[in-house]
């Protein structure tokens, strides 16, 4: 558990400021791709689902709920909430997807831009997918 807290804090320090109020509503009829990538532990999986953007400020966690409700390859996910403090805005950390948990000190679920593999500058709570985005949750070694 302490490792997850350290990862969350490290992401805050290395990624700069959070984009808390930077959501700009966009067109409601766009699409983006949400992917799950686990090439490290059994059961291995790689799944994509195309989701319609809402046009509102909807974070990626809400879209993950939609994927779980409507796509048989997206079974479930678990989160841990880290509360607000004077130096942290409060956020959820995705700890497991499709029953595969990150292992403390070894692996974690990283939110990346799918085609480049680049880690997003914000976490799941503060990332609002827009039309054309390609988002992936990738099980990553530390």
Alpha-carbon torsion angle 111, 119, 125, 20, nearest 10: -170
Residue that wins the pLDDT comparison between 130 and 140: 140
Reported as a pLDDT band with limits 50, 70 and 90, residue 117 is confident
32 close to 130: Cβ distance less than 8 angstroms: yes
pLDDT digits (tens, 9 = 90+) for 16-70: 333 344 677 766 779 999 999 999 999 999 999 999 998 888 999 999 999 999 9
For residue 129, pLDDT over 70 is answered with yes
C-alpha 25/C-alpha 6 separation (Å) is 32
Helices (H) and strands (E) in the chain, counts: 2, 7
pLDDT, position 86:
87
Mean pLDDT of the chain: 83
Reported as a pLDDT band with limits 50, 70 and 90, residue 89 is confident
33 close to 114: Cβ distance less than 8 angstroms: yes
Peptide bond into 72 cis (omega under 30): no
pLDDT, position 138:
96
Tell me whether strands 134-141 and 31-38 are parallel, antiparallel or unpaired: parallel
Reported as a pLDDT band with limits 50, 70 and 90, residue 140 is very high
Q: What is the pTM of this model?
A: 0.78
Task: Reduce the DSSP state of residue 77 to 3 states and report it.
Answer: strand
Domains parsed from the chain with CATH numbers: 2-13+27-141 (2.170.130.30)
Peptide bond into 137 cis (omega under 30): no
């Amino acid at each position: 558990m302490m490792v997850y807290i350290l990862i969350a804090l490290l992401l805050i320090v290395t990624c700069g400021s959070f984009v808390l109020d930077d959501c700009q509503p966009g067109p409601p009829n766009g699409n983006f791709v949400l992917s799950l990538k686990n090439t490290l532990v059994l059961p291995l999986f790689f799944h994509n689902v195309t989701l319609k953007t809402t046009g509102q400020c909807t974070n990626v966690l809400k879209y993950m709920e939609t994927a779980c409700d409507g796509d048989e390859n997206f079974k479930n996910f678990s989160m841990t909430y880290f509360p607000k403090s004077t130096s942290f805005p409060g956020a959820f950390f995705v700890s497991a997807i499709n029953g595969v948990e990150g292992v403390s000190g070894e692996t974690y679920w990283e939110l990346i831009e799918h085609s480049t593999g680049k880690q997003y500058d914000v976490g799941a709570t503060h990332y609002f997918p827009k039309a054309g985005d390609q988002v992936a949750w990738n099980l990553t070694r530390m």
